[in-house]
Amino acid sequence: MTQPVETTDRKQLYRDLLDAAKQATKHSYAPFSKFIVGSALRTADGSVYTGCNVENSNFANSICAERTAMVKAMSDGHREFDAIATVSLQAADCWPCGVCRQFLSDFGAGLTVVAEGAGGEIKSMPCAQLLPAAHVPKT
């Protein structure tokens, strides 16, 4: 976890999250797919948690970067989230997979999801837009 990031500039916040996600790719373990992914999650209090993908020879047992970051934050007691950025070294527009979309919807329905386009532009959308009609637990 990094120190809380205080900013009112959303574009700068998203750029900072993308940069943290890029740093997280250094810890990726992807010997099978060679698809290296990093993610950075900002909690409601401004703390930032990073994660990377960790593969297993049985792909069903692999863990994506987004879920790694979310579980790290939740295991420290966080339950409210602001934004999550995901990057891949192999592809622009790296959006969460279907499993991660459902996972993020369960724990961060109000979350903004951020990706970087091919030209370096920042792209963002509400988590609910990534997975319309998601099954979301009633709280």
Over residues 82-101, the pLDDT tens digits come to: 999 999 989 989 999 999 99
For this structure, is 66 an active site residue? yes
- pLDDT grade for 60, boundaries at 50, 70 and 90: confident
Please report the pLDDT score of residue 8 as a whole number.
60
- Provide mean pLDDT across the span 21-45: 97
Asked if residue 80 belongs to a domain, the reply is yes
pTM, whole model, 2 decimals?
0.89
Domain count, the chain: 1
Asked if residue 139 belongs to a domain, the reply is no
Answer yes or no: are the C-beta atoms of 85 and 67 closer than 8 Å: no
Please report the pLDDT score of residue 3 as a whole number.
45
Asked if residue 137 belongs to a domain, the reply is no
Spatial distance between the Cα atoms of 109 and 81, rounded to a whole number of angstroms: 9
- Provide mean pLDDT across the span 30-39: 96
Asked if residue 87 belongs to a domain, the reply is yes
Asked if residue 102 belongs to a domain, the reply is yes
Asked if residue 109 belongs to a domain, the reply is yes
Q: Spell out the long-range contacts of 74-77 with Cβ–Cβ below 8 A and sequence spacing 24 or more.
A: 74/107, 76/1, 76/47, 76/49
What percent of the chain is predicted at pLDDT more than 90? 73
Spatial distance between the Cα atoms of 73 and 83, rounded to a whole number of angstroms: 12
Smallest Cα–Cα separation from 41: which of 76, 67, 11, 77?
67
- Provide mean pLDDT across the span 31-50: 96
Residues ≥6 apart with Cβ < 8 Å to 37: 25, 28, 30, 52, 53, 64, 65, 86, 87, 88, 94
Please report the pLDDT score of residue 121 as a whole number.
93
What is the residue range of 45's domain? 10-130
**To 10 degrees, the CA torsion angle through 47, 52, 56, 60?**
70
- pLDDT grade for 4, boundaries at 50, 70 and 90: very low
Please report the pLDDT score of residue 26 as a whole number.
98
Asked if residue 135 belongs to a domain, the reply is no
Please report the pLDDT score of residue 1 as a whole number.
56
- Catalytic option among 55, 66, 80, 121: 66
Asked if residue 2 belongs to a domain, the reply is no
Write the CATH number for 89.
Answer: 3.40.140.10
